[in-house]
Amino acid sequence: MVTGLKATSALVSIGFSVTEPALNTFTETQIDLNLSPLDREVFVVLSANMDLGFPDNTAGASSRVTGAITTTRQLTMPSLADANCFAVKNESIRGNAIGAVSFSSGGNETSPTNQEFLTIVATNDFFAQIQGVGNVNPKVLAGKVYGYRARASADIFAALVQSEVLSA
């Protein structure tokens, strides 16, 4: 357990999905955690799981689908290099006139074994994003975030909220 936090729930899984409303369009959805800021409640994320719709295989063309989960609202598709992004997954097909090869990559969907948690969400929600490139059908991201609710000490809560909001 992280110093300054006291668990107030058992393990919780929160499911979500986001669908592109139009082809190859950056789309984001907000997932409400119903945290109580008056009680200095935070959500400690232990792991995340994302399933992406596979990119469309169009002869002679490349396509890609990217999904991400962040603690703050985004204007463009984030990467793990962004401060508030805690999970990313990519599915891509590289194609040319001869053929096509598919690739899959993901980053930080589960915390490394030497870490106690993946991230801490101090505000009331987190966000999921999806964007396709070169597809002929809209794509879907479905996922789950696993973690627990905790009560933070006043100084830890203030530091977590300030860090999350200022790094947006």
Domain boundaries of the chain, sorted by first residue:
5-166
Residue 57 has pLDDT above 90, yes or no: no
b (16+ CB within 10 A) / e for 30-61: ebebebeeeebbbbbbbbbbbebbebbeeeeb
pLDDT digits (tens, 9 = 90+) for 29-54: 999 999 999 999 999 999 999 999 99
CATH topology for 5-166 is: Jelly Rolls (2.60.120)
- In this prediction, residue 11 has a pLDDT band, given cuts at 50, 70 and 90, of very high
Q: What pLDDT shows up at residue 3?
A: 79
Which residues are bridge partners to 1 per DSSP?
A: none
